């Protein structure tokens, strides 16, 4: 299962608008997508409540995984979203 580690660039972390954009992008992928802190239990990246429950702040590292067709492209898109400060 492909995965990528990335730091959250948004000054507000992965909350409100950045989380909404992330969840929408993850939902466009046809297969399972998850997000977690390194070493922690992953949550469904297509669920706004699950993503918000992580309370991920600015500068924190996360691990994003995706399965299925276009998993690498999905990871690239999600990585770009969270590693860009204006997201």
What is residue 60's three-state secondary structure?
A: coil
Residue 48: Cβ within 10 Å count: 15
Is residue 15 annotated as part of the catalytic site, yes or no? Answer: yes
**Residue 38 contacts residue 61 (beta carbons within 8 Å):** yes
- pLDDT of the residue at 86: 66
Catalytic residue among 15, 27, 43, 63: 15
Sheet holding 33-36, edge to edge: 3-7, 61-66, 33-36, 43-44
Out of 3.30.360.10, 3.30.1340.10, 2.40.30.10, 3.40.50.300, select the CATH number for domain 3-82.
3.30.1340.10
CA-nearest of 60, 18, 21 to 40 is 60
Task: Delimit the domains of the chain by residue range.
Answer: 3-82
Integer Cα distance of 87 and 83 in angstroms: 8
**Model confidence, pTM:** 0.93
Chain segment 33-58, per-residue pLDDT in tens: 999 999 999 999 999 999 999 999 99
């Amino acid at each position: 299962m492909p995965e990528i580690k990335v730091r959250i660039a948004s000054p507000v972390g992965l909350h409100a608008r950045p989380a909404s954009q992330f969840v929408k992008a993850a939902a466009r992928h046809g297969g399972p997508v998850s997000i977690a802190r390194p070493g922690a239990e992953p949550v469904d990246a297509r669920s706004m409540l699950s993503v918000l429950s992580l309370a991920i702040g600015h500068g924190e590292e996360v691990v994003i995984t995706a399965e299925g067709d276009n998993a690498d492209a999905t990871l690239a898109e999600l990585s770009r979203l969270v590693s860009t400060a204006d997201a």
